[in-house]
Amino acid sequence: MSPTKWRSSKNVEEFTNHCKLIHNLCMKLRARLGNILKQDKNNWQDLEVIVERLPNIMHLYHQVTTSPQVSDHLLSFRCEFWGSKIWHHRLATLYLANQVITYIIVHCVEITTHQANIIKLVTFFNELLNLNITSKPRGITVVKNTCPSLLQPFRRLSITKILQILAQYRAEECGHLLVSLLLDIYYDNGLPQDDYDTEPLLTDEDLPSSDNSSMEIYRTLTRYMTPPQAPQ
Protein backbone atom coordinates (compact mmCIF):
# COMPACT_ATOMS: atom_id res chain seq x y z
CA MET A 1 0.00 0.00 0.00
CA SER A 2 1.40 3.37 -1.00
CA PRO A 3 1.91 6.05 1.71
CA THR A 4 -0.74 8.28 0.10
CA LYS A 5 -3.33 5.50 0.00
CA TRP A 6 -2.48 4.51 3.58
CA ARG A 7 -3.02 8.09 4.79
CA SER A 8 -6.32 8.27 2.91
CA SER A 9 -7.49 5.04 4.49
CA LYS A 10 -6.48 6.28 7.94
CA ASN A 11 -8.32 9.59 7.44
CA VAL A 12 -11.46 7.74 6.38
CA GLU A 13 -11.21 5.46 9.41
CA GLU A 14 -10.96 8.44 11.77
CA PHE A 15 -13.82 10.19 9.99
CA THR A 16 -16.15 7.16 10.20
CA ASN A 17 -15.24 6.52 13.86
CA HIS A 18 -16.17 10.10 14.75
CA CYS A 19 -19.39 9.79 12.76
CA LYS A 20 -20.31 6.57 14.58
CA LEU A 21 -19.78 8.28 17.92
CA ILE A 22 -21.96 11.20 16.79
CA HIS A 23 -24.62 8.75 15.63
CA ASN A 24 -24.76 6.97 19.01
CA LEU A 25 -24.70 10.19 21.04
CA CYS A 26 -27.33 11.93 18.90
CA MET A 27 -29.69 8.94 19.09
CA LYS A 28 -29.57 9.16 22.90
CA LEU A 29 -29.78 12.96 22.84
CA ARG A 30 -32.86 12.97 20.62
CA ALA A 31 -34.54 10.37 22.81
CA ARG A 32 -33.98 12.49 25.92
CA LEU A 33 -35.15 15.68 24.15
CA GLY A 34 -38.28 13.81 23.10
CA ASN A 35 -38.89 12.72 26.71
CA ILE A 36 -38.92 16.35 27.87
CA LEU A 37 -41.53 17.20 25.23
CA LYS A 38 -43.79 14.51 26.70
CA GLN A 39 -44.34 16.98 29.58
CA ASP A 40 -43.68 14.33 32.23
CA LYS A 41 -42.14 15.83 35.37
CA ASN A 42 -40.14 12.64 35.87
CA ASN A 43 -38.24 13.38 32.64
CA TRP A 44 -36.82 16.73 33.79
CA GLN A 45 -33.74 14.96 35.13
CA ASP A 46 -32.89 14.23 31.48
CA LEU A 47 -32.18 17.93 30.98
CA GLU A 48 -29.14 17.76 33.25
CA VAL A 49 -27.80 14.77 31.35
CA ILE A 50 -28.41 16.52 28.02
CA VAL A 51 -26.44 19.67 28.84
CA GLU A 52 -23.55 17.59 30.18
CA ARG A 53 -23.16 15.81 26.84
CA LEU A 54 -23.55 18.81 24.55
CA PRO A 55 -19.86 19.88 24.58
CA ASN A 56 -18.73 16.38 23.60
CA ILE A 57 -21.22 16.21 20.71
CA MET A 58 -20.21 19.66 19.50
CA HIS A 59 -16.51 18.74 19.66
CA LEU A 60 -17.12 15.64 17.53
CA TYR A 61 -19.10 17.62 14.96
CA HIS A 62 -16.16 19.98 14.57
CA GLN A 63 -14.00 16.94 13.79
CA VAL A 64 -16.18 15.93 10.82
CA THR A 65 -16.95 19.29 9.21
CA THR A 66 -14.85 18.25 6.20
CA SER A 67 -15.24 14.86 4.56
CA PRO A 68 -11.98 13.15 3.41
CA GLN A 69 -11.34 13.33 -0.33
CA VAL A 70 -10.40 9.86 -1.59
CA SER A 71 -10.22 8.27 -5.03
CA ASP A 72 -11.14 4.77 -3.89
CA HIS A 73 -14.86 4.18 -4.61
CA LEU A 74 -15.43 2.03 -1.53
CA LEU A 75 -13.84 4.55 0.83
CA SER A 76 -15.69 7.38 -0.91
CA PHE A 77 -19.01 5.57 -0.38
CA ARG A 78 -18.25 5.13 3.33
CA CYS A 79 -17.61 8.86 3.68
CA GLU A 80 -20.80 9.79 1.83
CA PHE A 81 -22.87 7.31 3.83
CA TRP A 82 -21.73 8.51 7.24
CA GLY A 83 -21.66 12.15 6.14
CA SER A 84 -25.31 11.87 5.13
CA LYS A 85 -26.23 10.17 8.42
CA ILE A 86 -24.67 12.84 10.65
CA TRP A 87 -26.31 15.56 8.51
CA HIS A 88 -29.68 13.94 9.23
CA HIS A 89 -28.85 13.83 12.93
CA ARG A 90 -27.84 17.49 12.88
CA LEU A 91 -31.10 18.60 11.29
CA ALA A 92 -33.32 16.46 13.54
CA THR A 93 -31.38 17.53 16.64
CA LEU A 94 -31.81 21.20 15.72
CA TYR A 95 -35.54 20.65 15.27
CA LEU A 96 -35.97 18.92 18.64
CA ALA A 97 -33.69 21.36 20.46
CA ASN A 98 -35.72 24.28 19.11
CA GLN A 99 -38.93 22.68 20.37
CA VAL A 100 -37.46 21.95 23.81
CA ILE A 101 -36.01 25.45 24.18
CA THR A 102 -39.38 27.01 23.36
CA TYR A 103 -41.15 24.67 25.80
CA ILE A 104 -38.70 25.42 28.63
CA ILE A 105 -38.84 29.19 28.04
CA VAL A 106 -42.63 29.17 28.20
CA HIS A 107 -43.06 26.87 31.18
CA CYS A 108 -39.91 26.95 33.27
CA VAL A 109 -38.07 30.22 32.67
CA GLU A 110 -38.74 31.33 36.26
CA ILE A 111 -37.25 28.12 37.71
CA THR A 112 -33.70 29.04 38.71
CA THR A 113 -32.31 25.54 38.19
CA HIS A 114 -33.37 25.56 34.52
CA GLN A 115 -32.09 29.01 33.55
CA ALA A 116 -28.46 27.93 33.15
CA ASN A 117 -29.58 24.88 31.16
CA ILE A 118 -31.59 27.10 28.81
CA ILE A 119 -28.48 29.19 28.07
CA LYS A 120 -26.35 26.08 27.43
CA LEU A 121 -28.98 24.57 25.15
CA VAL A 122 -29.39 27.82 23.20
CA THR A 123 -25.60 28.11 22.83
CA PHE A 124 -25.43 24.54 21.52
CA PHE A 125 -28.29 25.21 19.09
CA ASN A 126 -26.65 28.33 17.65
CA GLU A 127 -23.24 26.68 17.35
CA LEU A 128 -24.65 23.58 15.66
CA LEU A 129 -26.73 25.76 13.36
CA ASN A 130 -23.70 27.78 12.26
CA LEU A 131 -21.57 24.70 11.68
CA ASN A 132 -20.45 24.45 8.05
CA ILE A 133 -20.54 20.76 7.11
CA THR A 134 -19.26 19.91 3.64
CA SER A 135 -20.80 16.42 3.84
CA LYS A 136 -24.34 17.81 3.42
CA PRO A 137 -26.21 15.39 1.11
CA ARG A 138 -27.75 16.66 -2.10
CA GLY A 139 -31.45 16.52 -2.81
CA ILE A 140 -32.49 15.81 0.79
CA THR A 141 -35.83 17.48 1.50
CA VAL A 142 -37.20 15.49 4.46
CA VAL A 143 -35.41 13.97 7.44
CA LYS A 144 -38.49 12.84 9.32
CA ASN A 145 -42.21 13.22 8.67
CA THR A 146 -42.29 15.68 11.57
CA CYS A 147 -39.26 17.59 10.36
CA PRO A 148 -39.88 18.74 6.77
CA SER A 149 -37.64 21.17 4.97
CA LEU A 150 -40.61 23.56 5.01
CA LEU A 151 -39.57 24.42 8.57
CA GLN A 152 -36.11 25.36 7.34
CA PRO A 153 -33.97 27.34 7.43
CA PHE A 154 -33.68 27.67 11.18
CA ARG A 155 -32.80 31.07 12.54
CA ARG A 156 -30.30 31.83 15.25
CA LEU A 157 -31.86 32.10 18.72
CA SER A 158 -31.02 35.55 20.02
CA ILE A 159 -32.06 37.21 23.27
CA THR A 160 -34.64 39.16 21.28
CA LYS A 161 -36.17 35.96 19.92
CA ILE A 162 -36.29 34.39 23.37
CA LEU A 163 -38.06 37.45 24.77
CA GLN A 164 -40.53 37.37 21.86
CA ILE A 165 -41.43 33.75 22.64
CA LEU A 166 -41.95 34.57 26.31
CA ALA A 167 -43.88 37.77 25.61
CA GLN A 168 -46.24 36.03 23.17
CA TYR A 169 -47.10 33.34 25.70
CA ARG A 170 -47.56 35.84 28.53
CA ALA A 171 -49.84 37.95 26.31
CA GLU A 172 -51.97 34.92 25.47
CA GLU A 173 -52.09 33.85 29.11
CA CYS A 174 -53.15 37.33 30.26
CA GLY A 175 -55.69 37.50 27.43
CA HIS A 176 -57.15 34.20 28.55
CA LEU A 177 -57.55 35.49 32.11
CA LEU A 178 -59.13 38.71 30.81
CA VAL A 179 -61.69 36.72 28.82
CA SER A 180 -62.64 34.77 31.95
CA LEU A 181 -63.06 37.99 33.93
CA LEU A 182 -65.23 39.55 31.22
CA LEU A 183 -67.43 36.47 31.16
CA ASP A 184 -67.79 36.51 34.96
CA ILE A 185 -68.87 40.18 34.85
CA TYR A 186 -71.26 39.45 32.00
CA TYR A 187 -73.00 36.58 33.77
CA ASP A 188 -72.97 38.28 37.21
CA ASN A 189 -75.27 40.93 35.73
CA GLY A 190 -77.89 38.27 35.14
CA LEU A 191 -77.72 38.34 31.36
CA PRO A 192 -78.77 35.23 29.45
CA GLN A 193 -76.20 33.00 27.79
CA ASP A 194 -76.44 32.82 24.03
CA ASP A 195 -75.83 29.60 22.18
CA TYR A 196 -72.34 30.63 21.24
CA ASP A 197 -71.51 31.39 24.87
CA THR A 198 -71.54 27.68 25.63
CA GLU A 199 -68.52 27.08 23.42
CA PRO A 200 -65.56 25.88 25.52
CA LEU A 201 -62.89 28.48 26.18
CA LEU A 202 -59.19 27.84 25.82
CA THR A 203 -57.54 26.05 28.69
CA ASP A 204 -54.00 26.65 29.91
CA GLU A 205 -52.94 23.40 28.27
CA ASP A 206 -54.20 24.60 24.89
CA LEU A 207 -52.29 27.87 24.82
CA PRO A 208 -48.75 26.73 24.01
CA SER A 209 -49.87 23.96 21.66
CA SER A 210 -51.66 26.17 19.12
CA ASP A 211 -50.19 28.95 17.02
CA ASN A 212 -53.74 30.33 16.58
CA SER A 213 -54.48 30.58 20.30
CA SER A 214 -53.99 34.37 20.34
CA MET A 215 -56.52 34.77 17.51
CA GLU A 216 -59.03 32.68 19.45
CA ILE A 217 -58.57 34.96 22.45
CA TYR A 218 -59.03 38.09 20.35
CA ARG A 219 -62.24 36.70 18.83
CA THR A 220 -63.60 35.95 22.29
CA LEU A 221 -62.57 39.37 23.58
CA THR A 222 -64.35 41.25 20.81
CA ARG A 223 -67.47 39.21 21.48
CA TYR A 224 -67.79 40.81 24.93
CA MET A 225 -66.36 44.27 24.34
CA THR A 226 -69.74 45.98 24.80
CA PRO A 227 -70.31 46.68 28.54
CA PRO A 228 -73.07 44.40 29.82
CA GLN A 229 -76.41 46.01 30.64
CA ALA A 230 -79.03 44.20 32.66
CA PRO A 231 -82.44 43.90 30.95
CA GLN A 232 -85.03 46.48 32.02
Average pLDDT over residues 28-33: 90
pLDDT in tens, 148-171: 544 556 777 777 777 777 777 667
Mean pLDDT of all residues in 72-96: 87
How many Cα atoms within 13 Å fall on the side-chain side of residue 183? 17
Res 200: pLDDT? 47
Residue extents of the structural domains in the chain: 3-140, 158-190+208-231
**H or E stretch including 45?**
helix 45-63
d(CA 68, CA 135): 9
Mean pLDDT of 33-42: 78
Q: Which of 26-30, 110-114, 188-192 has the lowest mean pLDDT?
A: 188-192
Q: What is the pLDDT of residue 23?
A: 93
pLDDT tens sequence across 88-120: 888 889 888 988 888 888 776 666 667 788 888
Give the per-residue pLDDT at 218: 61
Instruction: Using CB atoms within 10 Å of the CB of residue 232, give its burial: 0 to 12 exposed, 13 to 18 middle, 19+ buried.
Output: exposed
For residue 209, the model assigns a pLDDT of 46
134 φ, ψ (degrees, to nearest 5) = -75, -10
- Residue 81 sits at the vertex; the CA angle it makes with 136 and 95, to the nearest 5 degrees, is 50
pTM above 0.75, yes or no: no
